[in-house]
Structure 1
């Protein structure tokens, strides 16, 4: 009997995976379709969440943590780009192009990826814990009983708030990476500021910065959707909330990494905005 039960569980696992995937896709679609009506009906809640994510008590802790993680990650990755970039280029006599590496890699790949990871680790995890606690304490069921649709009120409002809040966060992160690389190259390797700034400005087209922001905004939607899903579907009491947070963080990290490849390929894979010709 035990063998048969085990075989049945193994056989049902692919079906269960497909069922869970379908439930997630349905959840994501309904949450996004609620966006126009949420802006009309729950603007006060959106503003409250935006203030909470951006300033407030649970708010101040969340945003402070996000800014701290964002600055820390982008600052040290910027330092790494400056150190390794200058060393590699100097070995072939082209150290003057270090400004190009900073403008190219920080803008296109490093800063957007780091911003997505920081958002997942702070704001996203907080949303999962909030919704999970509401689910196990039956607050979500109470909203439905009172005639308040829980999906737009709890999920879509958070998507909108996170989408808006990530913009200033990313500005801080991108500028931190630029500043760190510049300081390393100029003050550690003694490259002239004029040379660095010349190649940095030359190889940083405005559309690359715009595309970089588009990547981060898409990341923010995907991250918050996945985190809200696992919080909304949390079961099993307080331990279940912890499990939901872990699942959400793992999924969002993988999603950001995979989507970073596809979005980058879609934007820069068939055309180039930077050309180096001798």
Structure 2
């Protein structure tokens, strides 16, 4: 057999493999989109028929019985990350601004960057690594134990009962959790600037209050809620689609966390552009 004939035989096979890979990818994206739409459409059903399960999920994600370790881990991760990022922002901001003699504007850096970008990103990462991953593990375990199939046999809509309730509960729990993250980001920036770098507290407070825009804090909550919704949708999907036993559940948690972090970055980007794209300027005064 000649080389040319072998080459002509291999090219169609490789092209077929590529085609099958692309087709499988688009099929999975279609399944995810259908799951997301069905979950969002089931949210009114949750408020009507599954209020008890919704309250149970809110309690389990916050301070419910038997979940103190989980919420403690969430608060601990959020506290550590937001204090670290807020302090790092203040440290870098002070050092960079001092190079041009305007280190007094460190309060501006905290009020502007923490509100619009740093804290939403940090809160999203902490949420995905704790509550989101926990939801994937729970649903994955139910899938491999055929509990989701049992719910369908009993006439209970599993997407509304399991996925939509967790999405709604995650959004509710994210509100106080993000308040903690925002306050800690501001506080750590002030402590680093005034204690470690010796800047006057009055100077820091003056420039922080000058450039802090309350409406930006409200927009920051909008960004955070959009990110949390996307994260919970992704994690619940991977939990529903888990297969392959306990090892498959662990793999689903890893894939869900990776996908949710990537999507969170793009959601923050696009929602921030939508909110600040035309009004992102500020008055440099004071």
Bin the TM-score by the shorter chain.
Answer: over 0.9
1:30 aligns to what? 38
5 Å-filtered alignment, 1:54-73, equals 54-73=62-81
1:159 aligns with 2:159: no
SS of corresponding position for 2:67: helix
Q: CA offsets per residue over residues 206-239 of structure 1, 9 Å max, x none?
A: 1100010111101110000000000001111111
2:147 aligns to what? 139
1:182 aligns to what? 190
Q: CA offsets per residue over residues 29-49 of structure 1, 9 Å max, x none?
A: 010011111111111100001
Does the 8 Å CA contact 2:226/2:267 hold for their aligned counterparts? no
CA distance in 2: counterparts of 1:265 and 1:272, whole angstroms: 9
1:117 aligns to what? 125
5 Å-filtered alignment, 1:5-154, equals 8-154=16-162
User: Segments of 4+ in structure 1 off by > 4 A?
Assistant: 1-7
Measured at CA, do residues 58 and 235 of structure 1 come closer, stay the same or move farther in structure 2, by a change above 3 Å?
farther
Following TM superposition, by how much is the alpha carbon of 1:273 offset from its aligned partner in structure 2, in angstroms? 5.4
1:275 aligns to what? 283
Task: Between 10-19 and 98-107, report the one with greater CA deviation.
Answer: 10-19
CA distance in 2: counterparts of 1:187 and 1:159, whole angstroms: 41
Flag the structure with larger Rg: 2
CA distance in 1: counterparts of 2:66 and 2:113, whole angstroms: 34
Does the 8 Å CA contact 1:205/1:273 hold for their aligned counterparts? no
CA distance in 2: counterparts of 1:6 and 1:56, whole angstroms: 54
In structure 1, list runs of 5 or more residues that go unmatched: none
Following TM superposition, by how much is the alpha carbon of 1:3 offset from its aligned partner in structure 2, in angstroms? 9.0
Does the 8 Å CA contact 2:77/2:126 hold for their aligned counterparts? yes
Following TM superposition, by how much is the alpha carbon of 1:136 offset from its aligned partner in structure 2, in angstroms? 0.4
TM-score after normalising by structure 1: 0.96
1:248 to 244, 256, 260: 256
CA distance in 1: counterparts of 2:100 and 2:125, whole angstroms: 34
Does the 8 Å CA contact 1:38/1:156 hold for their aligned counterparts? yes
SS of corresponding position for 2:198: coil
Following TM superposition, by how much is the alpha carbon of 1:259 offset from its aligned partner in structure 2, in angstroms? 1.4
How many residues of Structure 1 are paired with residues of Structure 2 in the alignment?
A: 278
TM-score after normalising by structure 2: 0.93
CA distance in 2: counterparts of 1:277 and 1:181, whole angstroms: 21
CA distance in 1: counterparts of 2:183 and 2:38, whole angstroms: 36
